[in-house]
Amino acid sequence: MLIIDCPHCGPRHEQEFHYGRQAHVAYPADPSALTDEEWAHYLFYRDNPRGPHAERWVHSAGCRKWFNVVRDTLTYEIKAVYRAGEQPPPEYAALARPGAVAGTAPETTKEA
């Protein structure tokens, strides 16, 4: 059982939360300018690393707020928790780089 430290409520059991996919995936600034392949990459392609991964979670049985978690996909260890709109700690800054997902080049995206 994971204990997730909600940045608004404090530590709670994982069953109070829901996973919300990869964090820091910026919505394209002009979706109509994308090719079908670029749009498909935005919709369906996500990183699948062995190790630290930035994820969105919602405290659905608590404050109902979204926040971000850096979780190690090998050990399930939670490395960092931070509020939505914030950047991850410096050692995980690469997980939040714009355009990290193929098909969403930095010049065509805006921060989510």
Contact call for residue 6 and Zn ion (CB under 5 A): yes
Closer by beta carbon to Zn ion, 8 or else 97: 8
Residue of 2, 5, 8, 31 that binds Zn ion (CB under 5 A): 8
Q: Is 47 exposed, middle or buried (0-12, 13-18, 19+ CB in 10 A)?
A: middle
Contact call for residue 18 and Zn ion (CB under 5 A): no
Q: Is 77 exposed, middle or buried (0-12, 13-18, 19+ CB in 10 A)?
A: exposed
Contact call for residue 4 and Zn ion (CB under 5 A): no
| Residues 109 and 26 sit within 8 Å (Cβ to Cβ) | yes
- Total residues at interface with Zn ion (CB under 5 A): 6
Contact call for residue 62 and Zn ion (CB under 5 A): yes
Contact call for residue 9 and Zn ion (CB under 5 A): yes
